[in-house]
């Protein structure tokens, strides 16, 4: 059996469909976090939350979930602390990070402290480019994410 690498202190998971314009905000920001090379931080860009991510979460002290938010209501960037919850089950994908945290707790005996960063998007049509508004909001979000990661 090979030794396991040391688990990162923080797992950042950006999720969304990068073929639907601003819905790709989560993966875009996860890539930006990875490029910064912050120590003890693992950044994952995924299309959707899947049960397999529970293992990575269980080994971390903190987790940050990043997703796009549609609609003109709310702030450009919202940061909410979240707790494990919801029924886990054996679904092939999970729509809510709280359910994924609950799976980590049920399957591995622990879930990290976690935050949900939602970023306002404006254009969710077909295309791989983020709108100008979304890019501006991503810069704000990255500053918030850095505070969570370096705390």
119-136 tens-digit pLDDT: 999 999 999 999 999 999
Average pLDDT over residues 96-104: 94
Give the confidence band of 150 by pLDDT, cuts at 50, 70, 90. Answer: confident
Q: Residue 18 contacts by C-beta under 8 Å, 6 or more apart in sequence?
A: 24, 27, 28, 47, 128
Diameter over CA atoms, the chain = 52
* Token pair in block for residue 145: 């994410």
Domain ranges within the chain, ordered by starting residue? 10-150
Strand partners, 127: 20
More confident position, 150 or 141: 141
pLDDT in tens, 3-57: 345 668 999 999 999 999 999 999 999 999 999 999 999 999 999 999 999 999 9
Q: Return the CATH fold of 10-150.
A: Rossmann fold (3.40.50)
Asked whether residue 117 carries a pLDDT value surpassing 90, the answer given is: yes
Give the Cα separation of 116 and 62 in Å (integer).
Answer: 11
């Amino acid at each position: 059996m090979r030794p396991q690498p040391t688990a990162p202190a923080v797992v950042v998971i950006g999720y969304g469909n990068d073929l639907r314009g601003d819905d790709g905000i989560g993966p875009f920001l996860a890539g930006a976090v990875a490029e910064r090379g912050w120590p003890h931080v693992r950044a994952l860009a995924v299309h959707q939350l899947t049960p397999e991510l529970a293992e990575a979460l269980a080994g971390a002290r903190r987790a940050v979930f990043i997703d796009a938010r549609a609609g003109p209501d709310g702030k450009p960037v919202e940061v909410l602390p979240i707790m494990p919850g919801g029924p886990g089950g054996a679904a092939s994908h999970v729509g809510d990070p709280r359910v994924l945290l609950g799976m980590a707790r049920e399957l591995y005996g622990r879930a990290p402290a976690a935050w949900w960063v939602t970023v306002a998007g404006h254009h969710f049509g077909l295309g791989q480019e983020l709108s100008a508004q979304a890019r501006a909001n991503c810069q704000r979000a990255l500053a918030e994410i850095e505070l969570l990661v370096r705390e």
